[in-house]
Chain A
């Protein structure tokens, strides 16, 4: 019973990390119809910003607050300069964002000197409930993820900004005709997606430590999750992230971690092959 509870907590906390990464990816894919291959590197960049703030002596939580802002700003600028040229050509967009990711990854590799760098957990120790011990920081990740999810959903479903975003998603021409600046909406949405990735990177860096190829794994995981969940809706990517996160955290309990890691992806690819529309095939944001 105790092992089960701890396993559940592990699965929950890992699933939360995947959800954070995927939320940004899913929003960008649903909105703009492009798959952002630089998303993993946005995660990496968030982790790097946190490390940078820590290394100059600032407290880690401050770095974690700065990371989404910095990455979001960069995302905004990149959207204005580069990504917006790709909306008409989704295939070229993949190569273009891949190049963007490459630049960020190699820049971070140069800056870190190719080392594995660690950042301490801002809240260390564990929470004890009865005879069970939970890593406190992982608990914080779960709580923050839940808050971010709720806030994102509220933003999209209940605010006038969210209404505009949904309008641009459903029918860009009509949205433009109604006086919504879809270009601006796209920029902000891309920045928002990037910021979410930055936040994810900042939160996970104490758990995974910082290295240049951190993003690649999350990129594949994120993509697989988005496609398992289904592009186009808010619930789809979140559901996909839940499934992938659960399997990624659960399978290593049954078999060797290497096999488990690969098996999750292979199973997911097979699933997508036979159900291309994903778990949630609807479009839009349910209220």
Chain B
């Protein structure tokens, strides 16, 4: 430990600590913030419906669904560096899709609508990615964000103008989702279902990102050219993560449609896309950051919307700007080191290197 020679004890989040492998492993061993944070949040979320009043539980369910949505945006922006300003396209398309499924075909079983919504989001994202990302010329970041934004705008406009989709009013009074013969209405039951889905998808994403694929994605965000030089097909990587994130957004969109009981054009358009950008301001590039960000933003909105309804969006915008300016890694970087953010890859290898200098 004395090898650094500096008398001062650096705070855990200082990146310089990672320079010396000894220090880094010592610090990483001492302060594993991420698992503690995740576990604490899971426990808090599990007991929340027991202590909260019913109407707040309903609100919390919505927040959890939006967490799922935020997760999908975090995957593309926080990890792959694709600024998808049309993430609501997949969210809304899946929402509309399952709403139509229940309106026109009377399908409301969770085992039908959830896969259907996920599939809709996946296919929509795959098609968009296939067009925007793949091709002979690599697409610029600006082009992709513009393309996704246009996609969301176009979907919003078309839904507004379509009688079949209900025009401005959207599709109202979607019947509740069913599991077998049991009707799933708002409340603790729905809450725990969403929580279970969220945890499952969170763990899947976590597994995916801690794999070789995730490391390549992180590299993509940091330096796309270098990853290309390493022989990765950058465009394919981007398209894959984009489609996965579309699927997650689709799942959350279908849950949202059944939870709220109606879908309307804002779910498709720029409003929702803007919201999801705000969610990850507390920590893009960490999965937990997106979840915490959603919880904080939505929680504060719920709390403040009575008194400060008009200025609240402005405050959010200012916060986002300040974070981008001074904490580009998000507020979560206050408690989480760079090394832990990216994750460890091959810890056994590192141990060996330390053991035999």
Which A residues are closer than 8 A to B by beta carbons? 35, 82, 85, 90-92, 94-96, 98-100, 102-103, 106-107, 109-110, 213, 216-217, 220, 223-224, 227, 256, 258-259, 261-262, 265-266, 269, 272-273, 276
Contact = CB atoms under 8 A, between A and B. Distances in A.
A100 B316 CA distance: 11
Interface stretch (B64-72, B209-217, B321-329): B321-329
A262 B154 contact: yes
A282 to B, nearest CB: 18
Contacts of A217: 153
> What 9 pairs between A and B have smallest CB-CB spacing?
A258-B161, A103-B317, A106-B313, A110-B310, A102-B317, A99-B321, A99-B320, A262-B154, A106-B314
Contacts of B147: 269
Given A102-B313, A266-B150, A276 B145 contact: no
Contact of A94 (B83, B139, B150, B325): B83
A102 B316 CA distance: 9
A262 B324 contact: no
Q: Is the interface of B mostly helix, strand, loop or mixed?
A: helix
Contacts of A269: 146-147, 150
B324 A99 contact: yes
Given A94-B142, A107-B314, 14 more contacts: A94-B83, A95-B83, A102-B317, A103-B317, A103-B321, A106-B314, A106-B316, A109-B310, A216-B270, A258-B161, A259-B161, A265-B153, A276-B139, A276-B143
Q: How large is the interface on B (under 10, 10 to 19, 20 to 34, 35 or more residues)?
A: 35 or more
Given A95-B277, A276-B137, A220 B153 contact: yes
Contacts of A99: 317, 320-321, 324
B274 A91 contact: no
A140 to B, nearest CB: 29
Interface string B275-297: 00100000000000000000000
Nearest to B152: A220
Contacts of B141: 90-91, 94
B195 interface: no
A96 B325 contact: yes
21 contacts: A90-B141, A94-B141, A95-B324, A102-B274, A102-B313, A103-B321, A110-B314, A216-B153, A223-B142, A223-B146, A227-B142, A227-B146, A258-B160, A262-B154, A262-B157, A265-B150, A265-B154, A269-B147, A273-B135, A273-B139, A276-B139
B317 A94 contact: no
A106 B141 CA distance: 26
Interface string B152-175: 011001101100000000000000
A99 B146 CA distance: 16
B94 interface: no
Nearest to B147: A269
Contact of B158 (A85, A102, A258, A272): A258
B41 to A, nearest CB: 25
B142 to A, nearest CB: 5
Contacts of A98: 85, 277
